[in-house]
Amino acid sequence: MTDLRPLTIFLGIEIRRNRQLRSLHISQQQYIQTILMRFGMSKAAIISTPADQHVHLTTSGKKPFTPDR
């Protein structure tokens, strides 16, 4: 395996790196556009999907803590 140049796309994920600002931007926009075109949904209407802002996710496998409201 040979390192040819800086990574820009990997497994459908676009990767942009700014070494001076020490930032990394990861996007799947092009992959999503490809999927939408493949299934004829590129002109589908956009809607927002609200989510519960009080849910806390964990990696421990335990039930997430939800504070009393």
CA dist 6 and 1 (Å) reads 14
Domain-wise residue ranges, the chain: 9-38
pTM: 0.49
Rg (CA), the chain: 19
Condensed to tens digits (0 to 9), the pLDDT of residues 12-66 reads: 889 998 889 889 899 999 888 999 999 999 888 888 888 888 877 777 766 666 6
> What's the confidence (pLDDT) of residue 7?
83
> What's the confidence (pLDDT) of residue 69?
55
CA dist 8 and 54 (Å) reads 35
Length of the chain measured in residues:
69
CA dist 9 and 34 (Å) reads 14
> What's the confidence (pLDDT) of residue 61?
67
